[in-house]
Chain A
Amino acid sequence: MIFSWNNTLRCLALVGLLLGVKPLHAEYLKIELRVYGLDCELCARGVAASVQRLPGVKSVDVSLKKGLLEIVLVRGNTFKMSDLRKRIRENGFRAMEANVTALGNFNGSSRFEVVGSGESYNVARPDTKGPGPVELTFDIK
């Protein structure tokens, strides 16, 4: 085997490229969840505080007038929508429809799997080029 500066540089460039790419985890990025039953400031505070403690949650905003929770998540989280709905139910309220932004892969034509979460949804497939995860915003009824 002959030592070659060219091959060495190519190997180093490949390693650098691989190290520079972050691995993909469960990637819910942002959730707007409609919640029924929130009527007072303390209700909102209780829900916000308990949702804030779910893993991966960066911030929670509550609008009593709209009955809406806006949740921003950190990258690489292990967040699950089922955990969020359970947490809302434990607070005595009812989680309804949601608008979700997430990274995921399409399994088939319309099954969108959120990376790493094990949760998938029926979503119309957008026109995307090539394989790999896509960032998508969609509604959950």
Chain B
Amino acid sequence: MWHQILLSPRGESKILRLRWRAVRVVVSLVCLIATPAWADGHSPAFAFSTAILGKGDASFETELMWRSGTVMFGPRVSYGISQNFQISVSSPFHINHGEHPTGRFTAMMPGNPEFEALLGWRFYHASTGIGTRNEATLYAGGSALTQHTPRVDGPALERQPGMYVAFAAGRVARSYDIWAGAGYQRYGEWNRNNPVNSHQSNTLLGSFAAGWRPSFLNKDYPKPDLRFFWETTGEHVGLAWRDRTPGFGGGGGHGHLVPPTPLPSQNGIIYLRNSGGKAVFSGPSFLCTYRSVAVQGGVLFAVMDQPNGRQPQYREELRVVVGVSYYFLGRRK
């Protein structure tokens, strides 16, 4: 009897699975609490912003991200090569897999479990007055997927390389911030000779954010610094696809009874369910910095959510990010 209770239909021990899930949650929480992290000193939680580190400065960031069944943990390290060049390396990973259009989670954090290196070039920078400046940054980098994300309609897609280019511009002041930006992430293939090729979703992402520091919070250094943002992001996530190979069609993988979906196909490929769509999200966020630590969080609500028409069971309602950061400032001689 107990044997039947404890074993899933796939023969895995439920106790072991629960334990493994608990371990992952605990490890993530410990990392989030114990690991100082970076959350962009002046930036919104989800939207684009410019590079900020001075020459020789460094930062370490962790983010816990949640959206409709997917939970990710994203550590990132950044270093200021000069006042205008910054390099960032991030490696988010899944704590809990979900089925969703796998666009980027935030402007600066991939939505897939992957290793990403970005170079930021602050090509325009003008300090226009006391506490105010205008600046713009170009980002470019590459990535490599690190985890297989399981899919209900077939085997996981292959791990692939990717590239990301983005642009961000904004104006910061003591009482307000304005940020706008856009980026494009594209995935490629490691091996074109693979008999079963597949392709992750490409993503086009844009954002606008307005920040506000109320006058009663406009304290002088070294008091804690708290500001609020309202962020809006828009995205177009492309369709993932795989070769039309027997046994790897639009449905029916993993022994699940997912009916084959009528999908358009061309050149011998099949577009996959739950792999793309258009969406606009909007919501509040906050950023609090004190000493060398920053705490950041935000919630985005779906304003418009148009999956690609092949996701009847899926609607993404909100996204949540919480991050803690630590800065290593002024260490150079």
Chain A residues with Cβ below 8 Å from B291 are 45
Taking the nearest CB of chain A, how far is it from the CB of B268, in angstroms?
Answer: 51
Counting chain A CB atoms within 10 Å of each CB, which of B54, B122, B223 scores highest?
B54
**CB atoms of B330 and A36 under 8 A apart:** no
Given A53-B332, A65-B220, A89-B83: A39 touches B54 (CB 8 Å cut-off)? no
Chain A residues with Cβ below 8 Å from B333 are 53
For the complex, count residues of B whose C-beta is within 8 A of A. 41
The B85-140 residues at the A interface (CB cut-off 8 A) are: 122, 125, 127-133
**CB atoms of B57 and A46 under 8 A apart:** yes
Tell me the complex Cα distance, A79–B172, Å: 32
A94 within 8 Å of B (CB atoms): yes
Given A39-B42, A90-B83, A92-B83: A44 touches B174 (CB 8 Å cut-off)? no
Given A50-B332, A90-B54, A91-B83: A66 touches B130 (CB 8 Å cut-off)? yes
Tell me the complex Cα distance, A43–B125, Å: 15
Tell me the complex Cα distance, A38–B174, Å: 8
Tell me the complex Cα distance, A53–B220, Å: 22
Chain B residues with Cβ below 8 Å from A51 are 330
Partner of A64, one of B129, B174, B290, B292: B174
**CB atoms of B132 and A43 under 8 A apart:** no
B41 within 8 Å of A (CB atoms): yes
Contact code string B162-198 (vs A, CB < 8 Å = 1, else 0): 0000000000111000000000000000000000000
Chain B residues with Cβ below 8 Å from A50 are 54, 56, 329-330, 332
Taking the nearest CB of chain B, how far is it from the CB of A93, in angstroms?
Answer: 6
The B204-255 residues at the A interface (CB cut-off 8 A) are: 218, 220-225, 227
**CB atoms of A91 and B131 under 8 A apart:** no
**CB atoms of A44 and B130 under 8 A apart:** no
**CB atoms of A40 and B289 under 8 A apart:** yes
Tell me the complex Cα distance, A48–B327, Å: 14
- Tell me the dominant secondary structure on chain A's binding face: mixed
**CB atoms of A90 and B131 under 8 A apart:** no
Tell me the complex Cα distance, A62–B131, Å: 12
A42 within 8 Å of B (CB atoms): yes
Taking the nearest CB of chain B, how far is it from the CB of A70, in angstroms?
Answer: 12
**CB atoms of B133 and A42 under 8 A apart:** no
Given A53-B332, A90-B82: A40 touches B128 (CB 8 Å cut-off)? no
Tell me the complex Cα distance, A46–B331, Å: 9
B64 within 8 Å of A (CB atoms): no
Given A36-B127, A46-B54: A41 touches B290 (CB 8 Å cut-off)? yes
The A37-79 residues at the B interface (CB cut-off 8 A) are: 37-53, 62-67
Q: In the complex, given contacts A35-B127, A49-B329, what are 8 additional A-B residue pairs having Cβ atoms less than 8 angstroms apart?
A: A39-B131, A39-B174, A41-B290, A45-B221, A45-B292, A46-B57, A47-B54, A93-B127
Closest 6 CB pairs of A and B: A49-B330, A37-B127, A67-B130, A36-B127, A41-B225, A50-B330
20 contacts between A and B (CB under 8 A): A35-B127, A36-B127, A36-B132, A37-B131, A38-B130, A41-B223, A42-B42, A44-B222, A45-B292, A45-B329, A46-B54, A50-B329, A62-B221, A64-B131, A64-B174, A64-B220, A65-B131, A65-B174, A89-B83, A92-B52
